[in-house]
Chains A and B, each alone.
Chain A
Amino acid sequence: MKRILAVDDSLSIREMVQFTLKQAGYHVDAAVDGVDGLAKAKTGQFDLIISDINMPRMDGISLIRHLRNESTYKFTPILMLTTESGSDIKMTGKSAGATGWIVKPFNPEKLIATVQKVLR
């Protein structure tokens, strides 16, 4: 079973992502912010990391940078959850090493479709 780590400071989004992806047959762990996400990512290898951008303690961009410095996450797909429609944040994310993005608001179908783009 493919393992996904979902990082978001919002409990409702976390629950929704977790629930949806579990229904779709993935193993999903959740983390509440960048610091938590990085710690969890280091303890187990995930096949995909989905992270929010705006979070307390460590934001999504720093998390991505840290992850790309880990040898085990050099090529792992990392998707960012963003509400920003502008390309600024997408570009910042890309240069930090993000694979792609899911634009909020998203529905469960869209989430699964996007995840399937990188996990197949």
Chain B
Amino acid sequence: MDIDLKQFHHVFIEECVEGLEVMETELLKLNPGAVDSEVINTIFRVAHSIKGGAGTFGFNQLTEFTHVAEALLDDLRAGKLTLIDGHISLFFKTVDCLREWILRLASDSESIPEEAEALKLQYNSFLQVDEYQQQILASNDEITPEVVLPIVNHLEDGYWLINFIPGKDILKQGNEPRLMFAELQDMGELKVTPKLTAIPRWSDVLPEDIYVSWDLELISQVSELQIKEAFEWVEDDSTITITHSSAIQAVIPASCQNIVPTADNKESTLAVLSTQVSPQKITNNKSTETSSIRVSIDKVDALINMVGELVITQAMLGELGQDFSADKLSALKKGLIQLSQHTREMQDSVMKIRMLPIQFAFNRIPRMVRDLSEQLGKNVLLRMHGEETELDKIMLEKLSDPIVHLVRNALDHGIETIEERKLTGKSDVACLDISAFHQGGEIIVEIRDDGRGLNRAKIHAKAIEKGIAKEDQHYSHSQIDELIFAPGFSTVETVSDISGRGVGMDVVKKNIESLGGDIQVESNDGEGSCFSIRLPLTLSIMDGQLIKIGNKTYVLPIMSIIESLQLKDGMVTKLADQTEVFKLRDEFIPIIRLYQVLNHETSLERISDGLLVVVESGANKYGLLVDDLAAQQQVVIKNLEDNFMKVSCVSGATILGNGTVALILDITDIIKRITSKQYLQQSQRSPVAA
């Protein structure tokens, strides 16, 4: 049978990647002072699986490499060695090295990471050298036994006498003498003579034990080793004596005397040899890389259920259409409602398949924090919250780098050294909190440290120097903070190898904006900073509320709408800066007249003629004044930048059922514009061109 092992490679590679993640997570739990044997066991199992798989799928050098790691882990779990810090960092380096190695395997490259040899040497210095060599010998032996053995054992034609006294327990191990004899029979002519002398008195017989022994006569052209192989699993419990003789021929019954190995026999032996000796077929088909996604069975089941429902509805409608008459109208309507419901649920299920827990973007962080804080001499407690929050897979992949960058920044710039923290009366241990959560139809990811906060004087000076900010202009705190996202801004004089990799915050911001999200920073001097990333749930479809402004139709994301209401005259108060507010259950909510923002004619004469849509942005609520509310429906978001250009206040466009295009309003952007305009009015400066 010809089975191409290549087909299992991608599974093996994915499994290794997952295994390495587990290994890394577990390594972080390791502490030389208090060793948890279950942790060591888990790490051992990963190394062991990689080694086993590597051997099976023909990556022999990978087997050798993981073998030394496994050997050290084995010594540790057996208590032969005591865990020290050196071991842990070696394991971490091993994870990195293996990760690189697996990546290369995935791209069909046969090259080996350069650091592998050095790491192996380190392992050897930890392991007893002679013991190690023995293991290597043994493992080499293991890899190629079949290839070597039949060649060195020349075949002897002849008569074999085998005395087999089985161990009492072999039946209980599932070893049946019948099967071993059958194997011998395949080799040649076999004569079996049972010896019953050892059977005890009936009352003493245990039915599960074996009391019979056998004399076996085998005439065949085999080696002693091949015969032994038939007894391989019982040779330790049993007594097996094998004698070979051509002289014994005298006692062979006449019927057997003239037996020569048949041509058939010879051929089969040779055939066996040739298959064993022929080198492994090397196939060079390039495996095309496809990214796969692991979906929980529940999600797939939900989808299949939905498809079932859909088929039933379709059948129902089909039947209805066969001979349709006016009196069936209500049935048709019912059917169509069902159809739209199922379509929608199915769409939900499909979208869910693409959703993965944000954990995948988070899992590099603990390791990084550990390495960096060690390198920087800082003491950092990392806390992660909401790892189970789900996000579109594409977004997740693009989010990973910005998060990593922000964490690096926090560790490098935000968090102080232990000495500095002591001076300012803070605890030695700095806290870094990373959280993900849902808010109003969006995902928020926060990276918060309790470090020194942004140095506004320095940022301001730097921005002026770089020509990003004007010297004679007044900036509020939050405006200064925003400057760090400006292109070409970097406060560090010497680019450190920790956070300064030529990627500035502007790139982080751009990456996040390309996902339809945005990033904001909040900072308090001496108390720390918090970066919050705001992301839409999915990239392509959302629930929309159609609204009318003048004679135009716009779309608001339904998730950001809290409620809609009609105001009565007299409920609106004007503040000193001309902002209109109204009181909603003890809260004052500013009113934004959308037709003003969007420069439209309106049919509204009074506020009470229109409707107020209360929306949430960040922690604040605003009331958007619209002429009317129209239908709620799902809209497919079309990107404006790709087809036209970025338009302020608008996050995209969609095509409505009647074929017209409606713009989707970007609530956050609108509010940002309004509040900055108010700010500028307040400080009595001429508005800058947006």
B172 at the interface (CB under 8 A from A): yes
Interface size, chain B (Cβ < 8 Å): 45
A83 pairs with B51, CB closer than 8 A: yes
A86 at the interface (CB under 8 A from B): yes
The listed residue (B172, B176, B237) touching A97 by CB distance below 8 A is B172
Query: Residues of A with Cβ closer than 8 Å to B?
Result: 9-13, 15-16, 19-20, 23-24, 52, 54-56, 68, 74-78, 81, 83, 85-87, 91, 94, 97-101, 103-110, 112, 117-118, 120
A112 neighbours in B (Cβ, 8 Å) = 1
A-B contact count (CB 8 A): 114
Query: How many whole Å from A110's CB to the nearest CB in chain B?
Result: 7
A97 pairs with B173, CB closer than 8 A: yes
Query: Residues of B with Cβ closer than 8 Å to A?
Result: 1, 3, 5, 7-8, 11-12, 14-15, 42, 44-45, 48-49, 51-58, 63, 138-139, 141-143, 145-146, 171-176, 179, 182-183, 208, 232-233, 236-237, 275
Query: How many whole Å from B661's CB to the nearest CB in chain A?
Result: 48
The SS class assigned to the B binding surface is helix
Query: How many whole Å from A114's CB to the nearest CB in chain B?
Result: 10
A110 neighbours in B (Cβ, 8 Å) = 146
**Cβ-closest chain A residue relative to B50:** A10
The listed residue (B44, B53, B58) touching A13 by CB distance below 8 A is B53
B171 neighbours in A (Cβ, 8 Å) = 75
A74 pairs with B53, CB closer than 8 A: no
Beyond A12-B15, A99-B173, A109-B275, 16 additional pairs, beta carbon < 8 A: A12-B8, A13-B52, A19-B3, A54-B49, A55-B45, A56-B42, A68-B172, A75-B176, A83-B52, A83-B55, A85-B142, A98-B173, A99-B174, A105-B63, A107-B5, A110-B146
**Cβ-closest chain A residue relative to B172:** A97
B8 pairs with A15, CB closer than 8 A: yes
Give the complex CA separation of A37 and B139 in angstroms: 28
- With A12-B53, A16-B56, A106-B56 as contacts: A23 and B1 at CB distance below 8 Å: yes
The listed residue (B3, B12, B44) touching A108 by CB distance below 8 A is B3
B42 neighbours in A (Cβ, 8 Å) = 56
The listed residue (B7, B45, B57) touching A56 by CB distance below 8 A is B45
B55 pairs with A108, CB closer than 8 A: no
A83 neighbours in B (Cβ, 8 Å) = 48, 51-52, 55, 142
Give the complex CA separation of A25 and B237 in angstroms: 32
A109 pairs with B1, CB closer than 8 A: yes
Interface core residue of A55, A77, A91 (most chain B CB under 10 Å): A77
Give the complex CA separation of A100 and B175 in angstroms: 8
The listed residue (B1, B3, B179, B233) touching A101 by CB distance below 8 A is B233
The listed residue (A10, A68, A74, A75) touching B52 by CB distance below 8 A is A10
The listed residue (B53, B173, B208) touching A10 by CB distance below 8 A is B53
A99 neighbours in B (Cβ, 8 Å) = 173-175, 233
The listed residue (A20, A108, A109, A118) touching B174 by CB distance below 8 A is A118
Give the complex CA separation of A20 and B1 in angstroms: 9
B182 pairs with A120, CB closer than 8 A: yes
Give the complex CA separation of A24 and B3 in angstroms: 11
A94 pairs with B52, CB closer than 8 A: no
Give the complex CA separation of A106 and B172 in angstroms: 26
Query: How many whole Å from B680's CB to the nearest CB in chain A?
Result: 60
B3 pairs with A11, CB closer than 8 A: no
Interface core residue of B11, B142, B182, B233 (most chain A CB under 10 Å): B233
A76 pairs with B174, CB closer than 8 A: yes
B173 pairs with A85, CB closer than 8 A: no
B183 neighbours in A (Cβ, 8 Å) = 117
The listed residue (B45, B52, B236, B275) touching A104 by CB distance below 8 A is B52
Query: How many whole Å from A112's CB to the nearest CB in chain B?
Result: 7
Interface core residue of A19, A91, A104 (most chain B CB under 10 Å): A104
Give the complex CA separation of A20 and B2 in angstroms: 10
**Cβ-closest chain A residue relative to B144:** A105
A106 neighbours in B (Cβ, 8 Å) = 56
13 residue pairs from A and B, CB less than 8 Å apart? A12-B56, A15-B8, A19-B3, A20-B1, A54-B44, A54-B48, A56-B45, A83-B52, A97-B173, A99-B173, A105-B58, A108-B5, A109-B275
The listed residue (A20, A74, A118) touching B179 by CB distance below 8 A is A118
Give the complex CA separation of A105 and B316 in angstroms: 56
A75 pairs with B174, CB closer than 8 A: yes
Query: How many whole Å from B21's CB to the nearest CB in chain A?
Result: 15
Give the complex CA separation of A101 and B174 in angstroms: 12
A104 pairs with B1, CB closer than 8 A: no
A10 neighbours in B (Cβ, 8 Å) = 15, 49, 52-53
B174 pairs with A91, CB closer than 8 A: no
- With A15-B11, A54-B48, A85-B141 as contacts: A100 and B55 at CB distance below 8 Å: no
Query: How many whole Å from A61's CB to the nearest CB in chain B?
Result: 13
B53 neighbours in A (Cβ, 8 Å) = 10, 12-13
Give the complex CA separation of A51 and B176 in angstroms: 19
Query: How many whole Å from A65's CB to the nearest CB in chain B?
Result: 12
**Cβ-closest chain B residue relative to A108:** B3
Query: How many whole Å from A100's CB to the nearest CB in chain B?
Result: 3
B173 neighbours in A (Cβ, 8 Å) = 78, 94, 97-99
- With A56-B45, A108-B5, A109-B275 as contacts: A12 and B233 at CB distance below 8 Å: no
B237 pairs with A94, CB closer than 8 A: yes
A97 neighbours in B (Cβ, 8 Å) = 172-174
Query: How many whole Å from A109's CB to the nearest CB in chain B?
Result: 7
**Cβ-closest chain B residue relative to A20:** B3
A78 neighbours in B (Cβ, 8 Å) = 173-174
Interface core residue of A56, A81, A117 (most chain B CB under 10 Å): A117
A86 pairs with B138, CB closer than 8 A: yes
Interface core residue of A12, A55, A74 (most chain B CB under 10 Å): A12
A107 neighbours in B (Cβ, 8 Å) = 5, 56
- With A12-B11, A75-B172 as contacts: A105 and B56 at CB distance below 8 Å: yes
A103 pairs with B142, CB closer than 8 A: yes
The listed residue (A54, A76, A81, A85) touching B45 by CB distance below 8 A is A54
Query: How many whole Å from B143's CB to the nearest CB in chain A?
Result: 7
Query: How many whole Å from B416's CB to the nearest CB in chain A?
Result: 41
Give the complex CA separation of A12 and B5 in angstroms: 10
Query: How many whole Å from A31's CB to the nearest CB in chain B?
Result: 16
Give the complex CA separation of A52 and B7 in angstroms: 21
- With A55-B45, A68-B172, A117-B183 as contacts: A16 and B5 at CB distance below 8 Å: yes
A104 neighbours in B (Cβ, 8 Å) = 52, 55-56
A23 pairs with B3, CB closer than 8 A: yes
B49 pairs with A9, CB closer than 8 A: yes
The listed residue (A12, A15, A24, A118) touching B1 by CB distance below 8 A is A24
Give the complex CA separation of A24 and B142 in angstroms: 25
Question: Which 7 residue pairs across A and B have the least CB separation, nearest first?
Answer: A105-B55, A100-B233, A99-B174, A12-B12, A77-B174, A108-B3, A105-B56
Give the complex CA separation of A117 and B5 in angstroms: 23
B146 neighbours in A (Cβ, 8 Å) = 110
**Cβ-closest chain B residue relative to A12:** B12
- With A16-B5, A109-B275 as contacts: A74 and B172 at CB distance below 8 Å: yes
B49 neighbours in A (Cβ, 8 Å) = 9-10, 13, 54
Query: How many whole Å from A104's CB to the nearest CB in chain B?
Result: 5
Give the complex CA separation of A11 and B146 in angstroms: 26
A85 neighbours in B (Cβ, 8 Å) = 138-139, 141-142
- With A108-B5, A110-B146 as contacts: A9 and B45 at CB distance below 8 Å: yes
